[in-house]
């Protein structure tokens, strides 16, 4: 038996009235033998008995008990123990109850998420400021009856008076529940992120936008975005947004046609909130890009998670004058020389560029850096992207680029595993 295990058992035995304390003067070896015998009795309990005991223990006590011996640790990891659990949250300054430590909550969810079927959070004198409802496995929340889910969510909204951040993804939240959210948290809400919420419409977002005067950041799917929504966000009575994030995701690859947003709607938003960052994430296929960037778009941060055509990249220089950051994860084997130089000439605010799985000649890349100069604070280019030519080799290009950047620069290397 480990020394640490013996100490735990010794503490339990001394604090329990069921175990008669030895008189002073008894042989120490006899005392130790007695305690060892008691320990052996506990350690030999069947798994199903220990499991029943563990189910009554708070999380912190359950975790401590699991370190007593190997058999108890085995019980600690039995899936049946993690079908249902309650976490307790509170403000320590105003509550006598001990809150479950956030690190312990994270560890339990990480290790036993596959077994959890029912999880509840007990709030004791606690004001929620951030609420995240994110389904890592899409069907889980969506299989919950919509009425049951919304009823539970409504209870949270009604009892929360200081929510500042809400992130909801892949859940059946709907417009009426958002109205309840606004009614109770209109003075504090600053961030609303909605993703893959099929029961939410532009009206639901408008309700939040019209009443939450502290709203500064809004993130939503492109399918919710509309001209009406942008015009509403641009009204005189509405707040000035600092960040508008738009996720353009192909829900039905090859069978989805994206709607277009008119230029005057974008112009109204920028006139009302001139400093707003418009961030767009694209996860669509090349044939689904046709709707985008045909006219001026005030995007500032642009990320292409899948392959994007030369034609679309060519539109960026002409129609995205506010562009600050551009990341292209994939394009193809055709060099993007002219497209990259057009972006450098017309996007005067560009400070960050990331390129991977595409092609640019070394001469064009040096010219791009020369045009942008030292305002390029972030430049992440995979070495495989650069094509040596008669002017520059891969060994020489870092010298020229470093000269125009005003700092030492090297292309990124693919790690060798």
Cα 286 to chain centroid, rounded: 26
Distance CA 172, CA 189 (A): 21
Please give the angle made by the CA atoms of 273, 276 and 282, to the nearest 5 degrees.
135
Return the axis-axis angle of helices 146-158 and 175-185, rounded to nearest 10°: 10
- Per-residue confidence band for 414, with pLDDT thresholds at 50, 70 and 90: low
Cα 317 to chain centroid, rounded: 30
Cβ-count burial 295-324 (b if 16+ within 10 Å, e if not)? eebbbbbbbbbebbbeebbbbbbebbebbb
Using the predicted structure, report yes or no on whether residue 400 has a pLDDT greater than 60: yes
- Per-residue confidence band for 158, with pLDDT thresholds at 50, 70 and 90: low
Q: Which tokens is 377 given?
A: 């604070």
**pLDDT tens per residue, range 1-29:** 444 443 433 433 343 344 444 444 444 55
Helices (H), 273-378: 310-319, 337-346, 362-372
pLDDT of residue 2: 40
pLDDT of residue 213: 74
Using the predicted structure, report yes or no on whether residue 270 has a pLDDT greater than 80: yes
Using the predicted structure, report yes or no on whether residue 91 has a pLDDT greater than 90: no
User: What are the φ and ψ backbone dihedral angles of 335, each rounded to 5 degrees?
Assistant: -60, 140
Distance CA 146, CA 144 (A): 6
Indicate the range of 100-114, 165-179, 290-304, 361-375 predicted with least confidence. Answer: 100-114
**pLDDT tens per residue, range 108-157:** 666 766 666 655 555 544 455 555 554 444 444 445 555 655 555 666 66
Of 177 and 389, more confident? 389
Using the predicted structure, report yes or no on whether residue 182 has a pLDDT greater than 50: yes
Q: How many CA atoms lie within 13 A of 102 on its CB side?
A: 2
Residues present in the chain in total: 417
Q: How many CA atoms lie within 13 A of 93 on its CB side?
A: 1
């Amino acid at each position: 038996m480990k020394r640490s295990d013996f100490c735990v058992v010794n503490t339990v035995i001394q604090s329990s009235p069921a175990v008669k304390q030895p008189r002073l003067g008894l042989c120490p070896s006899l005392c130790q033998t007695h305690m060892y015998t008691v320990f052996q009795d506990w350690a030999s309990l069947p798994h199903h008995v220990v499991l029943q005991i563990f189910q009554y223990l708070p999380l912190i006590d359950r975790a401590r008990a699991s370190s007593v011996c190997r058999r108890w640790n085995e019980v600690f990891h039995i899936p049946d123990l993690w079908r249902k659990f309650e976490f307790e949250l509170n403000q320590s300054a105003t509550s006598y109850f001990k809150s479950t430590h956030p690190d312990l909550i994270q560890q339990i969810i990480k290790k036993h998420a596959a077994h959890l079927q029912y999880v509840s959070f007990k709030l004791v004198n606690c004001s929620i400021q951030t609420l995240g409802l994110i389904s890592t496995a899409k069907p889980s929340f969506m299989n919950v009856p919509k009425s049951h889910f919304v009823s539970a969510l409504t209870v949270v909204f009604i009892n929360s008076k200081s929510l500042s951040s809400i992130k909801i993804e892949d859940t059946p939240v709907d417009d009426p529940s958002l109205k309840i959210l606004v009614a109770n948290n209109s003075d504090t809400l600053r961030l609303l992120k909605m993703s893959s919420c099929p029961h939410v419409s532009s009206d639901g977002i408008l309700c939040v936008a019209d009443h939450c005067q502290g709203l500064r950041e809004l993130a939503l799917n492109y399918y919710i975005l509309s001209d009406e929504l942008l015009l509403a966000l641009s009204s005189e009575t509405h707040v000035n947004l600092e960040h508008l994030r738009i996720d353009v995701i192909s829900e039905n690859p090859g069978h989805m046609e994206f709607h277009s947003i008119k230029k005057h709607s974008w112009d109204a938003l920028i006139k009302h909130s001139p400093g707003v960052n418009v961030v767009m994430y694209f996860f669509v296929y090349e044939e689904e890009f046709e709707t985008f960037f045909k006219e001026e778009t005030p995007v500032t941060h642009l990320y292409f998670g899948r392959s994007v055509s030369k034609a679309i990249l060519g539109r960026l220089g002409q129609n995205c004058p506010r562009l600050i950051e551009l990341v292209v994860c994939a394009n193809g084997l055709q060099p993007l020389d002219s497209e990259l130089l057009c972006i450098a000439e017309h996007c005067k605010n560009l400070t960050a560029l990331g390129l991977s799985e595409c092609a640019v000649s070394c001469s064009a890349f040096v010219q791009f850096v020369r045009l942008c100069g030292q305002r390029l604070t972030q430049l992440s280019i995979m070495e495989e992207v650069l094509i040596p030519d008669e002017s520059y080799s891969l060994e020489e290009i870092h010298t020229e680029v470093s000269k125009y950047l005003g700092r030492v620069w090297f292309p990124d290397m693919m790690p060798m595993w």
